[in-house]
Amino acid sequence: MTSYLNALGLVCPLGDTLEGVSRALFNGDSGLQPQSHWIADKTVPVGAVTVALAPLPASVSAFDNRCNRLLHHALQPILPAIKQALSRYGATRVGLVLGTSTAGILEGGLAIREGQSAAQAYLAQELSSCSRWLEQWLGLQGPVTVISTACTSGARALLSAQRLLQSGLCDAVICGGVDSLCHLTLNGFDALEAISQVPCLPLSQQRNGINIGEAAAVFLMTREPGPIALLGAAASSDAHHMSAPDPSGAGAVAAMRGALASAQLTPAQIHYINLHGTATPHNDAMESLAVAEVFGGRVPCSSTKPLTGHTLGAAGALEAAFCWLSLSSYNPERRLPPHRWDGNADPALPTLTLVDHDTRLAPALAPRLLSNSFAFGGNNACLILGATDA
pLDDT of residue 229: 98
The count of domains in the chain is 1
Per-residue pLDDT, averaged over 4-33, amounts to: 98
pLDDT of residue 338: 98
pLDDT of residue 2: 83
Which tens digit of pLDDT belongs to each residue from 91-117?
999 999 999 999 888 888 877 777 666
Question: Annotated catalytic residue: which of 72, 73, 271, 310?
Answer: 310
pLDDT of residue 270: 97
Which tens digit of pLDDT belongs to each residue from 305-323?
999 999 999 999 999 999 9
pLDDT of residue 259: 98
What's the pLDDT band for 19 if we cut at 50, 70, 90? Answer: very high
Between CA 141 and CA 147 the distance in angstroms is: 18
276 is catalytic: yes
390 pLDDT more than 70: no
Question: Annotated catalytic residue: which of 67, 151, 182, 301?
Answer: 151
Query: 43 and 352 in contact (C-beta within 8 Å)?
Result: no
Which tens digit of pLDDT belongs to each residue from 197-213?
999 999 999 999 999 99
pLDDT of residue 378: 82
247 pLDDT more than 90: no
Q: Is 11 helix (H, G, I), strand (E, B) or coil?
A: strand
Which range (136-140, 322-326, 343-347, 376-380) has the least confidence? 376-380
Q: Tell me the DSSP string of 176-188.
A: EEEE---HHHHHH
Q: Is 50 helix (H, G, I), strand (E, B) or coil?
A: coil
382 is catalytic: no
What's the pLDDT band for 121 if we cut at 50, 70, 90? Answer: low
Question: Annotated catalytic residue: which of 73, 271, 276, 339?
Answer: 276
* In the chain, % of residues over pLDDT 70: 97
pLDDT of residue 118: 56
Between CA 359 and CA 271 the distance in angstroms is: 11
Q: Residue 257: which region, alpha, beta or left (left: phi > 0; alpha: psi -120 to 50)?
A: alpha
pLDDT of residue 86: 98
151 is catalytic: yes
Which range of residues forms the domain containing residue 12? 3-387
CATH value at residue 185? 3.40.47.10
pLDDT of residue 116: 66
Which tens digit of pLDDT belongs to each residue from 170-195?
999 999 999 999 999 999 999 999 99
Between CA 156 and CA 76 the distance in angstroms is: 23
pLDDT of residue 349: 97
In Å, how far are 15, 335, 367 from 272, measured between CA atoms?
23, 11, 8
Between CA 381 and CA 374 the distance in angstroms is: 6
The pTM of this model reads: 0.97
